[in-house]
Structure 1
Amino acid sequence: MPDRQALAGLVLAGGQGSRMGGRDKGLVQLRGEPLAGHAARRLAPQVGRLIISANRNADSYARYGEVVGDGVAGLQGWPGPLAGVMAGLLAAGDAQWLVVAPCDTPFLPPDLAARLVGAALATGVPLAYASADGVRHPACMALRVSLLPALREYLASGERRVGLWQSRLGAAEARFDETPEAFMNVNTPEELERAERYASQ
């Protein structure tokens, strides 16, 4: 495993929040703390520095890390989470790896970075994604910062699908079957209620 300082973390908070009624999902409260705060608090100890990709409310997100926008020149329409990943790669500085998690995943495992990077290194590929109980979680990934040109080319081609890009790179799978709840997504008010119940246990 590379040293922690060789890892940058990225919390994706640039979504439209359409299933939350257009609310900035990363700032939706779960037990008195924004969803992005939960994700950042769990990811920050695993990496050397933390980046937040956000398109609004930058001041609110700045308490958790360096805030970057995900606007990519020349892209048409809503670019999706890979634009946030690209922004993170551009901001990663001297880091060798970028460990990515969405803001709506508040229960991330404490060994996410180590296991993702470890899976990539073990198979000799530049990217790994998480899965649990047979469910793929492509937005939870670790990738080499050197993939920036490949991602730029993929987005410029008009593609936006995360899973397709990962498959084309031969991404490794890091399995977290023992803790599927760590990847619980909070996309809707109903899922927020479920997360509240889980967090109170």
Structure 2
Amino acid sequence: MLPPLGLVLAGGQGRRMGGRNKGWVEYQGRPLVEQVIERLRPQVDSIVISANTDIDRYQALGFPCLPDTRPDYPGPLAGIAATWAHAPGHTLLCVPVDAPHLAPNLAARLGQALGSCAAPAAIAHDGERLQPLFALLRPDLAARLETDLAHGPLAVGRWFRDIGATVVDFSDQPGAFVNLNTPEDLVG
């Protein structure tokens, strides 16, 4: 399988972070988005960022920044759909912007699982719960996603279950999936 296109999902409203754009929140002296990109870059062919605010600031990092094409922050699946509209035919490796400890072998392990089955996507499981924003998606999902989004907002985990995504065990590195969602999470 060719290296996928990396998609950093940074389009949320940051409600639990007091409305701050999580990508630009500093953790250990650097913005989260920079830390995620640093870990993602060796695993992918190129990177795009899905964001709805601070677009110029994200673009200054040297990557395309794509806003949702649907109004009212309909969720990460809208960011995935916007990416496929911009880059059709690409396999996508999706990661959230608030996970600075991203597994260095995320693409390899998800790719190995996807390559050995007919599932349309592979998603991570950290040993305790499903981590659907850490996903590798085949490009033939693009049309299905557009159709499903046309019926309204979708819950990410449920959508992946409905399409028959394969689940990949990452219980050997649960820290790679820690999301920094609140100001309290940044301490430590």
In which range does the TM-score fall when normalised by the shorter chain? over 0.9
| Structure 2: runs of 5+ lacking an equivalent | none
Distance in 2 between residues matched to 1:37 and 1:67, nearest whole Å: 14
Q: What amino acid is aligned across from residue 81 of structure 1 in structure 2?
A: P
After TM superposition, list the pairs within 5 Å mapping 1:6-17 onto structure 2.
7-17=4-14
5+ residue gaps, structure 1: none
Q: 1:64 to 1:132 in 2, by over 3 A?
A: farther
Give the secondary-structure state (helix, strand or coil) at the position aligned to 1:133.
coil
Q: Secondary structure at the match of 1:123?
A: coil
Shift in Å at residue 174 of structure 1?
1.1
Residue 94 (structure 1) shift: 5.0
Query: For 1:9, what is the secondary structure of its paired residue?
Result: strand
- Counterpart AA for 1:50: I
Give the Cα–Cα distance (whole angstroms) in 2 for the partners of residues 86 and 94 of structure 1.
Answer: 12
Distance 1:129 1:170 in 2: 10
Query: Residues 11 and 50 of structure 2 are in contact (CA less than 8 Å); yes or no, is this contact kept in structure 1?
Result: yes
Runs of 4+ more than 3 Å apart:
none
Distance of 1:44 and 1:94 partners within structure 2: 20
The alignment of Structure 1 onto Structure 2 pairs a total of residues equal to 187
What CA distance in whole angstroms lies between the structure 1 residues aligned with 2:117 and 2:172?
21
Q: Does 2:66 match 1:71? A: no
Cross-structure match for 1:19: 16
Match of 2:109 among 105, 110, 115: 115
Identify the residue that residue 121 of structure 2 maps to in structure 1. 127
Aligned identity (percent) is 42
Contact 2:12 2:73 in 1 (8 A): no
In structure 2, the partner of 1:136 is: 130
After TM superposition, list the pairs within 5 Å mapping 1:151-166 onto structure 2.
151-166=145-160
Q: Whole-Å Cα distance in 2 between the matches of residues 23 and 178 of structure 1?
A: 32
Identify the match of residue 60 of structure 1 among 42, 57, 60: 57
1:83 corresponds in structure 2 to 78
Structure 1 residues 86-95 or 128-137, which shifts more?
Answer: 86-95
Q: CA deviation at 1:22?
A: 0.4
In structure 1, the partner of 2:2 is: 3
**Structure 1: how far apart are the matches of 2:176 and 2:37?**
14
1:174 to 142, 149, 168: 168
- RMSD, aligned α-carbons: 1.4
Equivalences for residues 184-199 of structure 1 within 5 A:
184-193=178-187, 197=188
Q: Partner letter of residue 76 of structure 2?
A: P
1:46 paired residue number: 43
Deviation at 1:120, TM superposition (A): 1.7
Please report the TM-score for the alignment, with normalisation by the length of structure 1: 0.88
Conserved? CA contact 2:32–2:99, under 8 Å: yes
